[in-house]
Amino acid sequence: MNEGAIGIFDSGVGGLTVTREIMRQLPMENLVYFGDTARVPYGSKSKQTIIRYSTQIVNFLRTKNVKAIVIACNTASALALEELQEQVEIPVIGVVWPGAISAAEATKTMNVGVIGTAATIKSEIYNKYLHELNPDITVVTKACPLFVPLVEEGLIEDRVTDDIARRYLSEFLEYNVDALVLGCTHYPLLRNTIRRTLGDKIKLVNPAYETAKSLKKLLMERDMLNKSMAKVHHEYYVSDMTDQFVPFADRVLPFHVDKIRVVNIEKYKKDSCRRNP
Amino acid sequence: MNEGAIGIFDSGVGGLTVTREIMRQLPMENLVYFGDTARVPYGSKSKQTIIRYSTQIVNFLRTKNVKAIVIACNTASALALEELQEQVEIPVIGVVWPGAISAAEATKTMNVGVIGTAATIKSEIYNKYLHELNPDITVVTKACPLFVPLVEEGLIEDRVTDDIARRYLSEFLEYNVDALVLGCTHYPLLRNTIRRTLGDKIKLVNPAYETAKSLKKLLMERDMLNKSMAKVHHEYYVSDMTDQFVPFADRVLPFHVDKIRVVNIEKYKKDSCRRNP
């Protein structure tokens, strides 16, 4: 059981930023990554569809003997976590709760900002979690739908991205926000742009770090850490072989990924992973 | 048979611009529209995936008693048309061939520009068709991946969209291009921006008009026009109920669409619509 892999999934390539952090904090763990490149993005889709897609992915990951699952995608964490936790008996963690913990710890003004996809913001999950952690926190949220396409077009340092960032973010300055959750895996790549827009006084919270920390804590508490001396293996799967995966992986991961396999994810039907089939 | 509907499909909402043109030129025809809003966009996906998705959609449309199918999406037309024509016995037409005809007729300098999604441009289908129509034509192509997200974010008239348009389009001025194919259903909405960037001397070719004309010609030639006096019906289906469909439809169509139904499109498996099952 302890040699089983950590299953990590995302709507596409963005979850590799979370994967990198898990590799850093848990270098002895085997990993299986799945990116839903055939159906990306999730951020503009409905809850029902995101749950169906996430369930198929969990069904697939379970065929890979995973001992725990990390939802690296904020949108899927926001909309499908509870459903997935009910469906399977192994631990499933998302990035939203760890992100909320980090932000609640970081804020002093008790004004926390959250940026994410339209679906994540609409779910109001960060508001709910932040208020559970501290009812005195005021949460200001903003959907930033153009950030992902801008990153994917490579406009990381660009006047257009700066212009769009000013429109999305300037209201956070009015609300005396001192911690901003980067609630989408692509956003940490825009860290410099966001800094230029908001200045140095706002702490930018990347849920990836806290997610890996939560995962480590969970595996330790349940005595699930990998103690095998066998060589660690990392596997990468996608639902479509697109041109973006390898360049993005090369930018994010500390080594080149040379083997990526394509999975027909639609075959992994809903309901087939129920706890008591 | 003649009372059967025209099936029209697109990766999402953009195909409604083609639908509008078909309604205008063929007001007596029944229509069934399908938008693959659960898996949009197609423009960054592989040929194999686009064929699989298009096949499922055609399978679905055939359950609606369609007499002909129009692929309103440039990407699906570029990558899946031939495969679909082999699979079904009813006529299937795409938007690329009609778009190429319009452009070949419009150009005098024999330099034609084409803009589209990454997948459409990579397919080089417009180059192939334009050279079939006239080997003397020089084709200059450019993928414009940010145009769709900019339109969907509502930045139709905006300095950011102008800035991006200048980057994508300025090379067409160098090549003495006098006809530009708007090779994605969202692009006609950026007509003003493109005009500002390229001036009035370049003819902007919207394949929608020529597609509806080709469809009408085909139905007439094969005596397939609807001659029934019954009330014309239009049906709308999507694979996900997203927030964008109705506002976009209201902007594009001459009337409000009040009924949209959601289809689980993955159920309509590949191969089940083969001519000889």
In this predicted structure, the answer to whether residue B72 has a pLDDT above a threshold of 60 is yes
| Max CA separation in chain B (angstroms) | 54
| For chain A, the helix, strand and coil percentages under 3-state DSSP, each to the nearest 5 | 45, 15, 40
Calculate mean pLDDT across residues B21-28. 97
Q: How far is A156 from chain B (nearest CA, A)?
A: 14
pTM reported for the whole predicted model: 0.92
* Catalytic, out of A6, A40, A73, A93: A73
Query: What is the mean pLDDT of the segment spanning B12-24?
Result: 96
Residue A271 has pLDDT above 70, yes or no: no
- B152 contacts in chain A (CB < 8 Å): 44, 145
Across chain B, mean pLDDT equals 94
Cα–Cα distance for residue pair A19/A23, rounded to 1 Å: 6
**Closest C-alpha among A275, A277, A269, A276 to residue A55:** A269
How far off is chain A from B11, nearest CA to CA, in Å? 11
* Angle at the Cα of A71 from the Cα atoms of A50 and A112, rounded to 5 degrees: 95
Q: Which residues pair with B140 in a beta bridge?
A: B113
Identify the pLDDT of residue B275: 41
User: Would you call A106 helix, strand, or coil by DSSP?
Assistant: helix
Q: How many CA atoms lie within 13 A of A198 on its CB side?
A: 28
Give percent above pLDDT 90 in chain A: 90
- As a whole number of angstroms, the distance between CA A263 and CA A237 comes to 7
E strands, B147-197, are 179-183
Nearest-CA neighbor of B6 among B15, B152, B83?
Answer: B15
Report the alpha-carbon distance of residue B252 to residue B216 in Å, rounded.
21
At A251 the pLDDT is 86
Q: pLDDT-based confidence at A277, cuts 50/70/90? A: very low
User: In a 10 Å sphere around its CB, with 0-12 CB exposed, 13-18 middle and 19+ buried, how is residue B261 labelled?
Assistant: exposed
CA distances from A182 to A98, A115, A191 (A): 12, 6, 9
Least confident of A51-60, A169-178, A236-245: A236-245
Average pLDDT over residues B244-270: 90
Residue A269: band (very low, low, confident or very high) from pLDDT cuts 50, 70, 90: confident
Structural tokens at position A117: 């996809």
- As a whole number of Å, the CA-based R_g of chain B is 18
Q: How confident is the model over B83-112, as pLDDT tens digits?
A: 999 999 999 999 999 999 999 999 999 999
Q: How far is Cα A161 from Cα A150, in angstroms, rounded to an integer?
A: 7
* Dist CA B142 CA B130 (whole Å): 15
Determine if the peptide bond prior to A149 is cis (ω within 30°). no
When the pLDDT of each residue in chain A is averaged and rounded to a whole number, the result is 94
User: Which pLDDT value is given to residue B258?
Assistant: 85
> For residue B274, what pLDDT band results from cuts at 50, 70 and 90?
very low
Neighbours of A230 (CB within 10 A): 8
Dist CA B108 CA B179 (whole Å): 8
Q: Which residue has the higher pLDDT, B273 or B129?
A: B129
CA–CA separation, B189 and A57 (whole Å)? 36
The residues on B that touch A, with CB distances below 8 Å, are 37-40, 44-46, 48-49, 118, 145-146, 149-150, 152-153, 159-160, 163-164, 239-244, 266
- Mean pLDDT for the stretch of residues B56-81: 97
Beta strands across the sheet bearing B138-143: B138-143, B111-116, B179-183, B203-205
- Give the residue-averaged pLDDT of A21-29: 97
pLDDT tens digit sequence for A215-241? 999 999 999 999 998 899 999 999 998
Residue A8 β-bridge partners:
A33, A70
Residues A92-129 have pLDDT tens digits of 999 999 999 999 999 999 999 999 999 999 999 999 99
* Partner-chain residue, chosen from B118, B145, B240, that has the shortest CB–CB distance to A46: B240
Residues of A in contact with B150 (CB under 8 A): 146
For A33, A88, B43, B149, B207, the CA distances from B186, given in Å and listed in that order, are 33, 41, 12, 9, 12
Residue A243, pLDDT score? 81
Confidence band of A76 (pLDDT split at 50, 70, 90): very high
Task: Tell me the per-residue pLDDT of A126-176, one tens digit each, with 9 for 90 and over.
Answer: 999 999 999 999 999 999 999 999 998 999 999 999 999 999 999 999 999
Contacts A246 to B, Cβ<8 Å: none
Instruction: Residue B143: name the closest of A147, A243, A262, A37 by CA.
Output: A243
DSSP 8-state code for residue B124: T
Q: Is the pLDDT of residue B270 over 70?
A: no
Is residue A276 predicted with pLDDT exceeding 70? no
Model confidence at A274: pLDDT above 80: no
Average pLDDT over residues B123-132: 98
pLDDT at residue A273, rounded to an integer: 42
Indicate if the pLDDT at residue B272 is higher than 60. no
Portion of chain B with pLDDT greater than 90, in percent: 90
Residues with Cβ within 8 Å of residue B171, at least 6 apart in sequence: B140, B142
- Which tokens sit at B184? 């994605």
Closest CA to B120 of B78, B60, B73, B70: B78
| CA–CA separation, B145 and A10 (whole Å) | 21
